Chains A and B, each alone.
Chain A
Amino acid sequence: SQKIEQNSEALNIQEGKTATLTCNYTNYSPAYLQWYRQDPGRGPVFLLLIRENEKEKRKERLKVTFDTTLKQSLFHITASQPADSATYLCALVENYGQNFVFGPGTRLSVLP
């Protein structure tokens, strides 16, 4: 069966450390993988996209890796800040944007 999982429901880290979130999937063949941030009571906000032929993508303090052999993406936030506290969602994109599959999310808390 098809499944997409994110490593944990909640993750607490200390300010200044690197947060690493994991997204694993089975039985999908995504052309793209995306990461979104969602704050309570609001819609998700797009952060980064990585293509199936890319190993790594960076944007400011964010880094995403994508391993299609392991069927896994890692999302890193370096020098984390309390303002980074939110729920982070990964999403697989298949069929030229006709099919989006979201993971359940990881709630990150950065403690001062």
Chain B
Amino acid sequence: NAGVTQTPKFQVLKTGQSMTLQCAQDMNHNSMYWYRQDPGMGLRLIYYSASEGTTDKGEVPNGYNVSRLNKREFSLRLESAAPSQTSVYFCASSTTSGDPYEQYFGPGTRLTVT
């Protein structure tokens, strides 16, 4: 069981470039999430997906798009990167059984936009 995997681990972009962050989970979870983490601000929800084929905006969706490709994969796209999007991005998945909404996080992608 790999849990939640994210690629890439690090990325440097120039302003205006685009990129897609990939996330996959092998725990058969329905819900998946994308967060960004900035110093002093905690984790902020960008988008979430309650199930395959559905996505909803979180607290800070502007400048991002997402795709829930199938139950395993949830990708985050930056169409035109801006320096304000420099951050650490985490993907997570969660269960509704056991301890409901316990989230499992990936290792993160450290993104720098210059």
Residues in A lying within 8 Å of B, measured CB to CB: 4, 9, 32, 34, 36, 41-46, 49, 89, 91, 93, 97-105
- Taking A98-B56, A99-B45 as contacts, is the C-beta distance between A42 and B107 under 8 angstroms? yes
- B94 close to A (CB within 8 Å): yes
Closest 8 interchain pairs by CB? A43-B105, A102-B43, A97-B101, A104-B42, A102-B42, A49-B99, A46-B102, A93-B101
Partner among B41, B50, B108 whose Cβ is within 8 Å of the Cβ of A43: B108
Give the distance in Å from the alpha carbon of A84 to the alpha carbon of B92 in the complex: 23
Which chain B positions have C-beta within 8 A of A36?
A: 103
CB atoms of B44 and A102 under 8 A apart = yes
Contacts of A49 in B (CB 8 A): 99-102
Contacts of A101 in B (CB 8 A): 45, 59
Are A100's CB and B45's CB within 8 A? yes
Given contacts A34-B102, A46-B103, A104-B42, contact A98 B108 (CB under 8 A): no
CB of A37, distance to nearest CB on chain B (Å):
11
Residues of chain B in range 71-108 having any CB-CB distance to chain A below 8 Å: 90, 92, 94, 96, 99-108
8 A Cβ contacts from B27-44 to A: 31, 33, 35, 40-44
